[in-house]
A and B are shown apart, each in its own frame.
Chain A
Amino acid sequence: MFIFTLRRLLTAIPTLLLISLVIFLLLELAPGDPMANQPLTIPPDVREKMREALGLGEPVHVRYWKWLVQFVWVEPLYLFDSAFGTSFAEGEQRIVSWQFRSPVFDTIWQRMPQTLWVVGMAYVVGVLIALPIGIISAYRQYSWFDQVGTFISMIGFSVPTFFTGVLLIVIFSVELGWFPSIYDTTLVVNSWDTFVQQVRQMAMPVFVLALFNAAQISRFMRASMLDNLNQDYVRTARAKGMRERTVVLVHVLRNSLIPVVTVIALGVPQVFGGAIITEQVFKVNGLGQLLITAIYANDLPMVQTLSVIFAVLIVLFNLIADILYGLLDPRIRYD
């Protein structure tokens, strides 16, 4: 198992390098010029110097190498410095955003909490809703609960998040006025009132994302439970005279959860991607919204860094899912 993990970690490195290179080369084709919004009165030689100051003067491979060094070496050093008060990264050039003229990672750290709160909460809520629904649907297959459950999960799975989001805004914030339609990031939670306000503004985005996640996970949970319910060991457990509760919630559930846990792990990075749209709908200024504005503003370092972070998340959670699968199911051995 350890050897397997090590091997997977080592193969993840070239994959990630290749992905970052692909993204870099794709962005290299970008038609936009970061100097386009500077006044035309700037003399050409000064303009050339400014381009060089942005790091644009050098050939492609040098720039890629510089970005890579900054991404995997300089930025972690800065993180280490700020955590322990050391000064290893003194004088090193950080990845600088073209639109904010400040380090990319500072902006990312500012935006991270909003995304984690809204998206993370939505995922947790989604999983918590999905598991019981999946279990009951499978246990009472073709009952009215199952019919309603599968129908709702089909709807949650089919209706795009931008429509559910907009629909909720129409109903709850335009018609009823219960929740605000725009997420206020400047809100500081320090009293009961602000806490209530925070809950109210989080309710709709969390619900939208949770519905979408719950729909997918409950389908997997139901299918997996149905596979296991007809197995011989279930009959044996019943024949031994165990209570139905124990049979279903201990024997069947534990076996059915194995594939579902990996699906949950695989879904985590997708949530960050899917959240781009939800964040846009509710004006949550998280990572997804940061990416969109960076794309609009032609801020290539920001787009590059964010895309690679998303790719790292995907590769990492694929790895986690594989390892979890091996840990949870003793029949699966990778070595």
Chain B
Amino acid sequence: MTEATAKPFSVEAALKPPRNQWWDVWDQFKTHKGALVGMIVFLAIVFGTLLGPFIWTIDPTFIDIRARNQGMSWAHPFGTDQLGRDMLARMMSGGQVSIAVGLTAMILSVLLGTLIGVLAGYFRRLDGPLMRLTDLFLSLPLLPLLLVMVMLFREPLSRAYGPEMGTFILIVCAIGVTSWMQTARIVRGDVLALKEREFVLAAKSIGTPSRRMITRHILPNVMSPIMVSATLGIANAIITESALSFLGLGFPPDFPTWGRLLFDAVDYIRDYPSRVIWPGLAISLVVLSVNYIGDGLRDALDPRIRGR
């Protein structure tokens, strides 16, 4: 009965450009309410920190000692800190740094993880050594090592690139180098499975060189796990950066990030508890929304679930 169920042939339908698979992914993503809300919250926070300083034009480093330690008011919606700097402006500029660190560190860790995962999965000879390396990194005590790395390299890098840029490079590299292992493992597993598929065999039989094989046939097919681990990587990087800042080993004091603002506010926790709440809430909201987006993406990119 195939003729009866088959759609009647029409020229318009045939000429219509084929539907991109990413539209299917988006359709599935939309059904995950948490992910949708997470995406809206995340975008709102990102645009708030990016565009906010154009509307709220107070300089985050402007010291107004007469207006110090103020509570919430119209002049200072989030209050002011112990030097009279406006908390809203500091939150926005801190958010820019925190999110920038999160995104850059995520890109670095995903690049490293994908490179090592693809190499280990595709070239049999590299598999053993690279996976032992991954295991080694997985058994390193990461937080102590991060602290040690920041402690050791902060001075030379600050001297070379200036205190802000130096710390930024250091923290991004430190987080990137210590968080690529999960991505590498997942990508390697997927590449190993892909290598046995017929289209890879077909491509190989017409003499495709390894480089084009990887960029053309392997990488597009491992995009889904990479995207999911990239999303979760943002959350991880933001938490790690704020943890470092919270321990006092992150950015310099006059260069606010959310973790640093939280760290500075802890000293005044008895008298001005609200100053702790705002940065903490911002970090938590971003991480929570990113985790929900990751959950939604994982469902949406899984072809077994999609369309059900």
Contacts and interface: CB of A to CB of B under 8 A. Distances in A.
Contacts of B291: 154, 157-158
Interface stretch (A131-139, A166-174, A193-201): A166-174
A311 B155 contact: no
Interface string A143-177: 00000000000110111101100110110001100
A306 B141 CA distance: 10
A263 interface: no
A170 B277 contact: yes
B276 A170 contact: yes
A27 to B, nearest CB: 7
Q: Binding site of B, secondary structure by majority: helix, strand, loop or mixed?
A: helix
A136 B242 CA distance: 34
B276 A310 contact: no
Contacts of B262: 162-163, 166
A307 B144 contact: yes
A280 B243 CA distance: 11
Nearest to B246: A162
Contacts, number: 117
B284 A276 contact: no
B139 A318 contact: yes
B247 interface: yes
Contact of B151 (A15, A157, A295, A318): A295
A303 B182 CA distance: 26
A311 B142 CA distance: 9
Interface string B253-267: 000000000100010
A15 B239 CA distance: 28
Interface residues of A, number: 43
A125 interface: no
Q: Binding site of A, secondary structure by majority: helix, strand, loop or mixed?
A: helix
Nearest to A23: B145
A174 B136 CA distance: 44
A160 B144 contact: no
A128 interface: no
A31 B287 CA distance: 35
Given A15-B135, A160-B239, A318-B139, A310 B144 contact: yes
B139 A31 contact: no
Nearest to A310: B141
Contact of A307 (B135, B145, B155): B145
A276 B235 CA distance: 19
A159 B153 CA distance: 29
A108 to B, nearest CB: 14
Contacts of A274: 143
Nearest to A291: B144
A203 interface: no
A333 B115 CA distance: 32
Contact of A15 (B136, B147, B148, B246): B136
A13 interface: no
Contact of B269 (A27, A174, A303): A174
A330 to B, nearest CB: 25
A250 interface: no
B156 interface: yes
Interface in B270-287: 270, 273, 276-277, 280-281, 283-284, 287
Contacts of A174: 269-270, 273
A311 B140 contact: yes
Interface string A12-54: 0001001100110011011100000000000000000000000
Nearest to B276: A166
B147 A311 contact: no
B140 A160 contact: no
Interface string A262-285: 000000010001101100100000
A17 to B, nearest CB: 11
A314 interface: yes
Nearest to B291: A158
B143 A276 contact: yes
B143 A19 contact: no
Nearest to B265: A166
Interface string B137-167: 0111111110111011101100000000000
B147 A295 contact: yes
Contacts of B131: none
Query: In this complex, which of A29, A160, A167, A276 has the most chain B Cβ atoms within 10 angstroms of its Cβ?
Result: A160
Given A22-B140, A160-B287, A170-B277, A292 B152 contact: no
User: Can you list the 7 inter-chain pairs with the closest CB atoms, starting with the nearest?
Assistant: A310-B141, A163-B280, A158-B288, A170-B273, A159-B284, A158-B287, A314-B139
Interface of A: 15, 18-19, 22-23, 26-27, 29-31, 154-155, 157-160, 162-163, 166-167, 169-170, 174-175, 181, 269, 273-274, 276-277, 280, 291-292, 295-296, 303, 306-307, 310-311, 314-315, 318
22 contacts: A19-B140, A26-B149, A31-B155, A154-B292, A155-B284, A155-B288, A158-B291, A160-B283, A162-B246, A166-B280, A169-B269, A170-B276, A273-B143, A274-B143, A276-B144, A277-B243, A277-B246, A292-B147, A295-B148, A295-B249, A314-B139, A315-B139
Given A158-B291, A295-B151, 12 more contacts: A27-B152, A30-B151, A154-B292, A162-B242, A163-B280, A175-B273, A273-B142, A273-B143, A295-B147, A307-B145, A311-B141, A314-B138
